[in-house]
Structure 1
Amino acid sequence: MTKNTAETINHEDFLFINDSLVEIFDKILRIEERELRKSRFKDITINELHLVHAITLHEQKTTSAVAHELHLSKGSLTSSVNMLVKRGYVERIRNQQDRRVINLTLTSKGRLLYRAHDAFHRQLVKSFLIGMDENDMPLIKRALTNLQNFVDEATNH
């Protein structure tokens, strides 16, 4: 494939891919919202769910690192973290090497939410890969890398 595949691809195929990506993105968000409302995590918004996911399970990230990763101002992050602390999902821990630095970690309730969200993502990946084999992986990885690069570039502007 060449760099200008988007310009040379069959119009119907282009529309199919476009419509599929838009519909899938929208439906994933709707599924996440619906499942949150049905779960014991009713008090969480989608943005807060993704903040819990960014904090991760096994490491303590600084507030600055999480804000940078999610492209949030420190003020916006602080507001969201305050709500998650209040609801028992996140803890702030002062860094032992530099007392000015605050690390974020998930509570047991936050870890449970993280694992539930991660299980959903694993189901998405497994369903995406049905019928694929090892020979398909380079193409899939290249397509996803191209999409990730585009999204990263657009996010940084």
Structure 2
Amino acid sequence: MAINQLCLAKGDGGQNAVDTDPQQLFVCAKTLNRAAVAVTLAMSIVFLFSGMGKLLSVPFFHVPFTLMNLPTGFGYFIGVIEVLGAIGIGWREYRVLSAAALLSVMMGAIYYHFNYETTFSALPALFLSALLFLTIKLDESVERLMRFQRQLMDMKAIF
């Protein structure tokens, strides 16, 4: 079932079904959470390999820093951020913070690709940036849905 059929389906009175049915709200939140997990797992793998490449001094990963006349230590610093971000993005408590840190790293990667390589080579960095932004938004949506579900359950318990 598509996410908009599940989460945006109209129920009685023209309201979204998730606004009136806590069970459907719970299923919608779980579906969004699974989507966030799938996206973050894929990004974790990419950033883990990239960060480890920088930390293990693989020349391919240090060329951009040399071309931009940055110190060698900066490549290692970015590698640490990428590895910690890849690990942190897997934990719900640190997901948004890690995604924001990795998003700042990706802004530097986009700058590098646009200024030192062809515009086409910036597409992977742009795609990863979009996924990081999506991760932040999905996490906010899931949190909002879970909070709303708890409120509905509390209201039903009162009545």
With structure 2 as the length reference, what TM-score do the two structures score? 0.32
Higher RCO (C-alpha under 8 Å, 6+ residues apart): 2
Higher helix share: 2
Give the number of the structure whose residues are more often strand, by fraction.
Answer: 1
Q: Which structure has the greater CA radius of gyration?
A: 2
